[in-house]
Amino acid sequence: MGAAPPQPPWPAWARDWLRDRMRVAAHAQNRYLFLMLLASGYTLATHLTPGDVVQVPFLGLAVPRPLVEAFAVSFLGTLMLAFLGSSEAMYINLTLQAPALGVDMKALSYRELSDPEPNLLDFLGYSTFINGQPTLFTPFGWAVLYSLPLIATVGWAIWLWRGGIETCCGPWRWLIAVHVFNGAILLLVSVRLLPFLYSHWRPQKNPRE
């Protein structure tokens, strides 16, 4: 009699459940990234537009610039935290949920579950590959191409926040509370961003991890 076919190291239902959880987190991350980049472009355009009043199309109102830019920082910071949180949710699925379901993570490739739906940043990193394989340029190129949009977004939010602090606050003294809140969010984002970027660069440097 022939040998029995090898059995997968995890139950099929557990694999599918885990993939669904990863896909939900990836969908959310893609949405947060899109909104983050869209909001950054919009606020950059309004910042470069002269005048003390900004037209906000989705509100149909003309809003004083200090109000728009203060709450734009809140919006960008919150989106960035949500983006980082979605990545943390995927990490929890892989390191806590998978073992509890009997999934053998050693039998999975890095991309099989951790990258179910690549986003814009992932595809920028993939542009350093040739014929599906990483090149000598990949670790450096991935670090730059993947990191730059996120670093630029955080840098732009910090620039807006600093400008709001310097011109604070005119007739809106209550904006001080908003700027303090924004500063706390940006500090948390800055602390969390570097470990996040390193966790995505490390597998490109050491593909077997």
Domain membership of residue 123 (yes or no) is no
Domain membership of residue 20 (yes or no) is yes
Range of the domain at 153: 12-115+149-205
| pLDDT tens per residue across span 43-67 | 888 888 887 887 776 666 777 888 8
Domain membership of residue 30 (yes or no) is yes
**Length reported for the chain:** 209
Domain membership of residue 135 (yes or no) is no
Domain membership of residue 42 (yes or no) is yes
The residue-averaged pLDDT of 83-112 equals 69
Domain membership of residue 2 (yes or no) is no
Q: Residue 150, Cβ neighbours under 10 Å: how many? A: 21
Work out how many domains the chain is built from and give that number. 1
Supply the pLDDT for residue 135.
80
Distance of alpha carbon 183 from alpha carbon 209, whole angstroms:
36
- DSSP single-letter state for residue 133: B
| pLDDT tens per residue across span 105-161 | 555 554 555 555 777 888 887 888 888 787 888 777 777 888 888 999 999 999 999
**What's the pTM value of the predicted model, to 2 decimals?**
0.76
Domain membership of residue 132 (yes or no) is no
Angle among Cα 156, 160, 163 to the nearest 5 degrees reads 140
Query: Residue for token digits 């005048």?
Result: 51
